[in-house]
Amino acid sequence: MFKAVVFDLDGVITDTAAFHFIAWRKLGRSLGIEVTETFNEELKGIDRMASLNKILALGSMENRFSKEEKEVLAQEKNDFYVTLINEISPADILPGIEQLLHDLDAQHIKVGLASASKNAPKILRLLGLAHSFSTIVDPAALQQGKPDPEIFIKACEQLQVQPEEAIGVEDAYSGIQAINAAKLYSVGIGDKHMLKDADYVFGDTAHLTFSKLKEIWGNRAL
Ligand code: BG6
Ligand code: MG
């Protein structure tokens, strides 16, 4: 049996992707750059500054701003994003997640969070789920963001398990690459084609149950 599950937050525990999109689109428009829903897919899992750099590159503005000016733009996006997420409540927990966290706890399986978001502790508090996670990786302390494996390796270290004993759950392409490189068993949530490198993909969190995880873990190729 697996000893730990490491969750991504945005798009797995709750659907904040729409809020990130609204906030980036607003910032993009203020610069004359149109962030489309398709382009937003590429921003999933990617940290705040890397996302800003991608948006600036989209508008061929990658060299227009100083580091300090970019900090101001990223802060502006975050200030707006935070006003949007302030409304989050336990009703925004994605289907099946509370039951799964309950079952993992009952089975004494460790649970960690590996999110690129510096807002993650606040979001977990708003969802009423802070107590369900025994560890949260601090993204500010990392050298590399997803798709680098660092965040998932760090989560396993903090949980005191080997990556090979753990499952990682992600909705983003970059996140699946990170889990695979860290050598956890990768579970994707979303589109099978986009997440084709995942060891197993669930269409949505409602299907992500403890019994199904046990089954796919038992059937995994060793
Ligand atoms: C990830 C999201 O979880 O966190 C990204 O998928 C987001 O879209 C990143 O940019 C960083 O979040 P934050 O809250 O620190 O700006
Ligand atoms: Mg995500």
What pLDDT does 221 receive?
Answer: 78
Probe residue for ligand 1, chosen from 6, 46, 53 as the CB with the greatest number of ligand atoms within 8 Å: 46
How many Å lie between the centroid of ligand 2 and the Cα of residue 171?
Answer: 5
Average pLDDT of the residues in 89-94: 98
Ligand 1: lining residues by beta carbon, under 6 Å: 9-10, 20, 43-48, 51, 78, 115-119, 172
Tens digit of each residue's pLDDT (9 = 90 or more) over 152-161: 999 999 999 9
Sole residue written with tokens 């101001």: 72
% residues pLDDT > 70 (the chain) = 100
Residue with tokens 């709750």, as numbered in its chain: 14
For 99-147, strand residue ranges (E) read: 110-113, 135-136
pLDDT on residue 147: 95
Ligand 1 binding pocket mutation candidate from 14, 20, 35 (most atoms within 8 A of CB)? 20
* For the CA of 120, the nearest atom of ligand 1: 14
Q: Which atom of ligand 1 lies at the shortest distance from residue 77's CA?
A: 16
Provide the CATH topology of domain 4-15+92-219: Rossmann fold (3.40.50)
Distance 39 CA to ligand 2 centre (A): 15
Within 10 angstroms of residue 206's Cβ, the number of other Cβ atoms is 12
What's the gap in Å between 158 CA and the centre of ligand 1?
Answer: 21
Average pLDDT for residues 206-211, to the nearest whole number? 98
Residue 41 has pLDDT above 90, yes or no: no
7: pLDDT strictly greater than 90:
yes
**pLDDT over 80 at 222, yes or no:** no
Taking alpha carbons only, the member of 70, 85, 67 closest to residue 27 is 70
Which CATH superfamily hosts domain 17-85?
Putative phosphatase; domain 2 (1.10.150.240)
Residue nearest to atom 8 of ligand 1 (CA): 44
The percent of residues above 90 in pLDDT, for the chain, comes to: 97
Four-residue CA torsion sign, 40, 46, 52, 54: negative
Task: Please report, for the chain, the start and end positions of each structural domain, with discontinuous segments joined by +.
Answer: 4-15+92-219, 17-85
Report the C-alpha gap between 166 and 171 in whole angstroms: 17
pLDDT digits (tens, 9 = 90+) for 54-66: 999 999 999 999 9
23 alpha carbon to ligand 1 midpoint, in Å? 11
- Which of these ranges, 37-51, 80-94, 157-171, has the smallest mean pLDDT? 37-51
* Matching fold, domains 4-15+92-219 and 17-85: no
Per-residue pLDDT tens for 97-116? 999 999 999 999 999 999 99
